[in-house]
Structure 1
Amino acid sequence: MKLDIQQAITFGQKILIAQGVPVDIAFDVSEHLVTSDQVGYTSHGLSILPTYQKVLANGFIKADGRPELFNDQPAILGFNGNKGFGQHVGKVVIKQAIDRANKHGQCIVTVNNCHHLGRMGYYGEIAAASGMILLAFTNVINREPTVAPYGGATARMTTNPLCFAIPLPNGRPYFIVDMATSSMAINKARVLATKGLKADNGSMIDANGKPTNDPNVLFTNPPGALLPFGAHKGYALGLTAELLAGILTNGGTIQPGNPRLGAAMNNMFAIIINPDLVNKNNNWKDLESNAYIDYLHSCPPQPGIDKVQYPGEYEYNSKVNNNESIEFEDSIWKNISSLATKLNVTL
């Protein structure tokens, strides 16, 4: 199924409005999801709406939840997400942090108690478009753990994504790092399972702690677990995100003394940096950035690789290729259209 971009955003928005979500929040969520489809991340696109319907129906999301400021200092902002949709909450708090960084050179921003923030690169793009640098650490609570620690046979962690963003001169695509500290995002594993595809070797273990590439083991009872990316290195970064996002936000960690009600909630600790106030030598910054990116692009590629790219170029090129429309595979579209039919929503 192929939809033009505005049609897709309106369709997703109507599905959310039909479930009691206010118009502006529904727009923020749907626009975020469609952008994820545009940049090539089906796992974080409209395909996730059936999951959101279930958590809404169970009361884990507050349809009209909006961020509430509880810590207001010149260069520090702390928000309670009030169980709202993360795509709306995250957009609001990052934009407010950008305003503070314009005044003070930097802003630490925290948010707790919000539902799934979605594709973290979206917030990196907002920051970079404003000329800002973003360093963001997120943890996942209110659900069972999904990631085994390095050397562990059962899950004790979650996917705990990192996002780093840096604007680049001369209209180059933004440098955007958006990565789970696990071998993959749990939603990507769900998409693989839906399509009947296998995961990469070394990415997960079954309920007995044995290596497997069958993503269905993550959704059995008892479940298997994802593994950290890069063995002990990814494990260390995942723990960093858990502690920064879980402790400094006052939102909590995945430890079993906290609730595990079954719906993923996020806490985020982020730093917005205004590079123009940190280093005012803009001409030199632009020259040096361009010189290094040119040097990087000049690297001869390995056999089978077209060219060397930096993080963010893939997403940029995907969005250009999907600038007017996005296309859904039959298995993905079936789930979305079934939900729409259930809610009496039409294209």
Structure 2
Amino acid sequence: MKITLEGARSLGTQLLAAQGVPDDIAADVAEHLVESDRCGYTSHGLSILPTYRNSLQRGHLQAAARAECISDRGGLLVFDGHSGFGQHVGKTVMQAGIDRVRQTGHCILTLRRSHHLGRMGHYGEMAAAAGFVLLSFTNVINRPPMVAPYGGKVARLTTNPLCFAGPMPNGRPPLVVDIATSAVAFNKTRVAAEKGEPLPEGCIIDADGLPTTDASVMFADPPGALLPFGGHKGYALGVVAELLAGVLSGGGTIQPVNPPDGMAVNNMFAVLIDPALEFGMEWKSAEVEGFLDYLHDTPPSPGFDRVQYPGEFEAQHRERNATHLEIAPAIWTSLARLAEALAVPMPAQA
């Protein structure tokens, strides 16, 4: 199914507005979701809207909630998301950090109690577009764990994403590293299960702790678990993200003293830096350019056409989807069902 970007944004906005979401918040969420689809991350795109409806109906997601700055110490900004839409809350918080970096050259941001923040690379792209470098760590609480620690049989962590981003010289796409500390994002298992597609080996285990490629085990009773990427290394980074985001934000960790009730809450710890600090950009730009050329000049392995740096994948998909989105039939059916329930017209297919 193919629709225009304008039609996709309008659909997302209308589906949210029909559930009592204020227009500006609905527009921010829809824009974020459509951009995720454009970049090739359908797991964080429009397909997630039925899940958000469930969150709204259960009272875990507050349709009109907005970010509140609860502490401003110059180079440190502390926010509470009040269980609002993460795509709007995250945009507000990141923009506040960007504005502060313009004044001070650097900023530490913390955010607690946000609903699902969405694709973290979106915020990295915001920072890079402003000319700044972002390092962020996010944890997930208020839902059952889904990632087994290294050497463990059952889940104790969640996907705890890391995002690192910054501008690249001479019009190149920004560097964007947006990775879950699990071998695969949970929403990707949802999409794979819906499509009946297998996951790569080494991503998940079943309820008995045995490796499998069947994504449906994540939705069984009892469920399986995601594995950390890179074995003990990804596990260690997941622990770091849990502590930085959960403790320094004041939002809490996934330990059982904070019992889950099923709907994800995100906490974030982030650092924003102006790379022009200390000395000028001329040498830095030349050094980055030389390093990127060095990477691009790497002879490709069999099966690859060239070596890329992180961020080029997203830029290529965004260019490929410059005017339209391809919506998988299963996702289209799910959105159509939601639209019918909310009396929202589906856009015409292009």
Q: Which bracket does the TM-score occupy, shorter chain normalised?
A: over 0.9
Q: Secondary structure at the match of 1:326?
A: strand
Shift of 1:281: 2.1
Q: Distance in 2 between matches of 1:146 and 1:86?
A: 20
Q: Distance in 2 between matches of 1:258 and 1:264?
A: 13
Percent identity between the aligned chains? Answer: 57
State the superposition RMSD in angstroms. 0.6
| Aligned match of 1:79 | 79
| Aligned match of 2:64 | 64
- Name the aligned partner's letter for residue 270 of structure 1: A
Q: Distance in 2 between matches of 1:116 and 1:69?
A: 19
Q: Distance in 1 between matches of 2:65 and 2:6?
A: 25
Shift of 1:329: 1.1
- Name the aligned partner's letter for residue 289 of structure 1: V
Shift of 1:323: 0.7
- Name the aligned partner's letter for residue 18 of structure 1: A
Q: Distance in 2 between matches of 1:82 and 1:259?
A: 18
| Aligned match of 1:98 | 98
| Aligned match of 1:287 | 286
Q: Secondary structure at the match of 1:275?
A: coil
| Aligned match of 1:243 | 243
| Aligned match of 1:297 | 296
- Name the aligned partner's letter for residue 255 of structure 1: Q
Shift of 1:3: 1.1
* Equivalences for residues 130-145 of structure 1 within 5 A: 130-145=130-145
Q: Distance in 1 between matches of 2:298 and 2:329?
A: 39
- Name the aligned partner's letter for residue 291 of structure 1: G
Q: Distance in 1 between matches of 2:332 and 2:269?
A: 34
Shift of 1:180: 0.2
- Name the aligned partner's letter for residue 163 of structure 2: C
Q: Distance in 2 between matches of 1:26 and 1:344?
A: 17
| Aligned match of 1:343 | 342
Q: Deviations over 1:202-224 (max 9, x none)?
A: 11111111111111111111111
- Name the aligned partner's letter for residue 294 of structure 1: D
Shift of 1:280: 2.3
| Aligned match of 1:36 | 36
| Aligned match of 2:115 | 115
Does 1:271 find its partner at 2:271?
Answer: yes
- Name the aligned partner's letter for residue 285 of structure 2: D
| Aligned match of 1:156 | 156
| Aligned match of 2:308 | 309
Shift of 1:309: 0.1
Q: Distance in 1 between matches of 2:94 and 2:289?
A: 27
Shift of 1:332: 1.0
Single out whichever of 171-180 and 95-104 deviates more from structure 2.
Answer: 95-104
Q: Distance in 2 between matches of 1:136 and 1:340?
A: 35
2:97, 2:109 within 8 Å by CA — same for their partners in 1?
yes
Q: Distance in 2 between matches of 1:183 and 1:215?
A: 13
Q: Secondary structure at the match of 2:170?
A: coil
- Name the aligned partner's letter for residue 5 of structure 2: I
In the superposition, the TM-score normalised over structure 2's length comes to 0.98
2:275, 2:281 within 8 Å by CA — same for their partners in 1?
no
Equivalent pairs counted in the alignment come to 346
Q: Distance in 2 between matches of 1:83 and 1:180?
A: 22
- Name the aligned partner's letter for residue 179 of structure 1: I
Structure 1 stretches of 4+ moved >2 Å: none
In structure 2, the gaps of 5 or more residues are none
| Aligned match of 1:324 | 323
Q: Distance in 2 between matches of 1:83 and 1:283?
A: 43
Shift of 1:152: 0.1
Shift of 1:259: 2.8
Q: Secondary structure at the match of 1:276?
A: coil
- Name the aligned partner's letter for residue 184 of structure 1: V
Q: Deviations over 1:246-291 (max 9, x none)?
A: 00000000111103010011000000001112x4221111111111
Q: Deviations over 1:281-335 (max 9, x none)?
A: 2111111111110111000000000100000000000000001010111111100
| Aligned match of 2:147 | 147
- Name the aligned partner's letter for residue 283 of structure 2: W
Q: Distance in 1 between matches of 2:336 and 2:268?
A: 32
Q: Distance in 2 between matches of 1:296 and 1:170?
A: 16
Q: Secondary structure at the match of 2:56?
A: helix
Q: Distance in 2 between matches of 1:328 and 1:168?
A: 31
* Equivalences for residues 199-218 of structure 1 within 5 A: 199-218=199-218
| Aligned match of 1:176 | 176
Q: Distance in 2 between matches of 1:89 and 1:304?
A: 41
- Name the aligned partner's letter for residue 344 of structure 1: A
Q: Distance in 2 between matches of 1:312 and 1:202?
A: 24
| Aligned match of 1:260 | 260
In the superposition, the TM-score normalised over structure 1's length comes to 0.99
Q: Distance in 2 between matches of 1:114 and 1:95?
A: 16
Q: Secondary structure at the match of 2:78?
A: strand
2:139, 2:245 within 8 Å by CA — same for their partners in 1?
yes
